[in-house]
Amino acid sequence: MYLTDEEQRILDGKCGDPQRVALRVLVKLGEACGAERMVPIVSAHLVASSYQIAGEAGIEIYSQLVAQGARVAVQTTSDPGSIDFARWREFKTPADYAARQVKIAELLDRMGVIPTWTCTPYATFNLPRFGDHLGWSESSAVVFVNSVIGARTNRLAAYVDLCAALTGRVPYFGLHVTENRRGQVVFELTPDLTADFADHYFPALGYLVGQTVGDKVPVIVGLRQATFDQLKAFGAASAASGSVALYHMVGITPEARTLEEACGRQAPAERVVVGRREIGAVMEQMGGVVDGPVDVVGIGCPHASIDQMRRYASLLEGKRIHSGTELWVCTNVVVEEMARKMGYVGIIERAGAKLMVGTCHNDCPLGAWGFRRLMTDSGKFAYYTPTTVGTQCVFGSTEACIQAAIAGKVERS
Ligand code: F3S
């Protein structure tokens, strides 16, 4: 691999051991993936900020790095942790577990990581621009910045993201290269589906697309508009059920003004038609509505925006969550503060719902709750929580989720 003089100096240990080891990892990765050079990055985002992911090994690695004086070289933010730092007792988190997460937070702080604790760092202090090269992990964030912003990052693994943060570089391969950003599988939505495309069809379509394409680049044709939150929900689901790191929506996302542009002026390898029947089938698979009690309702995955907080507040105003059901709203501290100022947090909490800030159902140890049935409006939660929380899952719209939390049960009607 070609290395600049500066990179060679780092590899020779002239900039300290943390950078030397980090660059060595990146060079090995690049060589394995056919990269011919490195590319400077604008920012990094770290997924092993969570104790659930980092574990004791993470504490050991971060402690060593801090002892060696390691500092991140570019703007770097943290993914959700494994506790809500302010409310972990309310979520029945064991004290020794919380202490391990606090230890990770202290170590990341000493390396200069911005403690965003969110999977939506692009909505806080880490907003890339079109064409920026990045070193990010967190599948839902990676797919958002690649697809909706047009920045460029591969889906980095835990600790590879840290190597990128420490050196300010990543190997130039995969989605950093223009030719690899071409759409490969075209999804044509039928007019009967697009005529009345409900909000919760976005995560359902994302789930279907992810299952179908794996790690290929999908192109969606037929939608005329999509909001920030709908694009976020679609991408997170596609990155969970598959390994999608970039999608194009023709007429909506920045590298897809036309189908030809989305496909790099080449014929797509495959075409898939999606209508109401296919969307209905995938929603059944994600957790079709079966009447019965619900223990916990999880919304705000990926972390809720201020618009979503407004919507939750309007659906909960003057209502009361059922005594046998928990409604947990996941978001980050930036949105929490703004939502508090705007009165939404008060409405949500008065209804008996709990805010889960800087973490989520997937990242916390929830065994003490004994939940058996979870309802969600998120494709990513629908994919993961049966394994991570150990519950049966029901998928529905945001309105249906909140209605179920109020009624304490889900009803098909
Ligand atoms: Fe974020 Fe947790 Fe969902 S990390 S994307 S809220 S599973």
Ligand 1 pocket test, candidate residues 231, 303, 329, 357, most atoms within 8 A of CB: 303
- The reply to whether 66 and 162 lie within a common domain is yes
* Residue closest by Cα to atom 7 of ligand 1: 362
Which CATH number belongs to the domain containing residue 379 in this structure? 3.30.499.10
Domain, as residue range, for 268: 182-284
- The reply to whether 58 and 149 lie within a common domain is yes
Q: What angle do CA 253, 256, 258 make, to 5 degrees?
A: 135
Q: Is the pLDDT of residue 168 over 90?
A: yes
Distance CA 302, CA 331 (A): 8
Helix or strand or coil: residue 40?
A: strand
* Residue closest by Cα to atom 5 of ligand 1: 302
- The reply to whether 37 and 154 lie within a common domain is yes
> Which is the closest atom of ligand 1 to the Cα of 139?
5
Report residue 413's pLDDT band, with 50, 70 and 90 as the boundaries.
low
- The reply to whether 10 and 158 lie within a common domain is yes
> Using a 6 Å cutoff on CB, does residue 359 contact ligand 1?
no
168-181 average pLDDT score: 98
Domain end (from 176, 207, 224): 176
CB 137 within 8 A of CB 46: yes
> Which is the closest atom of ligand 1 to the Cα of 141?
5
Strand partners, 186: 219, 271
- The reply to whether 78 and 146 lie within a common domain is yes
Which residues are CB-contacts of 67 (< 8 A; sequence separation ≥ 6)?
none
Ligand 1 pocket test, candidate residues 360, 364, 376, 391, most atoms within 8 A of CB: 360
> Which is the closest atom of ligand 1 to the Cα of 140?
5
pLDDT tens by residue, 217-264: 999 999 999 999 999 999 999 999 999 999 999 999 999 999 999 999
- The reply to whether 339 and 360 lie within a common domain is yes
- The reply to whether 131 and 164 lie within a common domain is yes
Q: Cβ–Cβ contacts within 10 Å for residue 271, how many?
A: 12
- The reply to whether 258 and 304 lie within a common domain is no
Report residue 411's pLDDT band, with 50, 70 and 90 as the boundaries.
confident
Ligand 1 pocket test, candidate residues 207, 357, 380, 391, most atoms within 8 A of CB: 380
Tokens at 132, concatenated:
């920026």
> Using a 6 Å cutoff on CB, does residue 200 contact ligand 1?
no
* Residue closest by Cα to atom 2 of ligand 1: 360
Q: Give me the DSSP letters along 138-173.
A: -HHHHHHIIIII--B---PPTTHHHHHHHHTEEES-
> Which is the closest atom of ligand 1 to the Cα of 361?
2
Domain end (from 121, 153, 176): 176
Which CATH number belongs to the domain containing residue 51 in this structure? 3.30.499
What does the radius of gyration of the chain's CA atoms come to, in whole angstroms?
Answer: 21
* Residue closest by Cα to atom 1 of ligand 1: 302
**Nearest CA among 394, 365, 383, 242 for reference residue 302:** 383
- Residue 57 backbone phi and psi in degrees, to 5: -60, -40
Q: Is the pLDDT of residue 390 over 90?
A: no
Number of domains comprising the chain? 3
> Which is the closest atom of ligand 1 to the Cα of 360?
2
Amino acid at 338: M
Produce one character per residue of 27-62: b if its CB has 16 or more CB atoms within 10 Å, e if not.
Answer: bebbeeeebeebbebbbbbbbbbbbbbbeeebbebb
Q: Is the pLDDT of residue 290 over 80?
A: no
pLDDT tens by residue, 86-125: 999 999 999 999 999 999 999 999 999 999 999 999 999 9
**Nearest CA among 277, 278, 228, 271 for reference residue 253:** 228
> Using a 6 Å cutoff on CB, does residue 360 contact ligand 1?
yes
Distance CA 284, CA 393 (A): 11
Domain end (from 176, 198, 231): 176
> Which is the closest atom of ligand 1 to the Cα of 330?
6
Give the Å distance between the CA of 241 and the centre of ligand 1: 14
- The reply to whether 239 and 336 lie within a common domain is no
% of the chain exceeding 70 in pLDDT:
100
Q: What mean pLDDT value characterizes the chain? A: 96
Burial class of 171 by CB neighbour count within 10 A (0 to 12, 13 to 18, 19+): buried
CB 294 within 8 A of CB 412: no
Give the Å distance between the CA of 303 and the centre of ligand 1: 6
- The reply to whether 279 and 292 lie within a common domain is no
Residue 117, pLDDT score = 98
> Using a 6 Å cutoff on CB, does residue 330 contact ligand 1?
yes
Give the Å distance between the CA of 192 and the centre of ligand 1: 31
> Using a 6 Å cutoff on CB, does residue 47 contact ligand 1?
no
> Using a 6 Å cutoff on CB, does residue 206 contact ligand 1?
no
- The reply to whether 79 and 136 lie within a common domain is yes
- The reply to whether 280 and 301 lie within a common domain is no
Residue 268, pLDDT score = 87
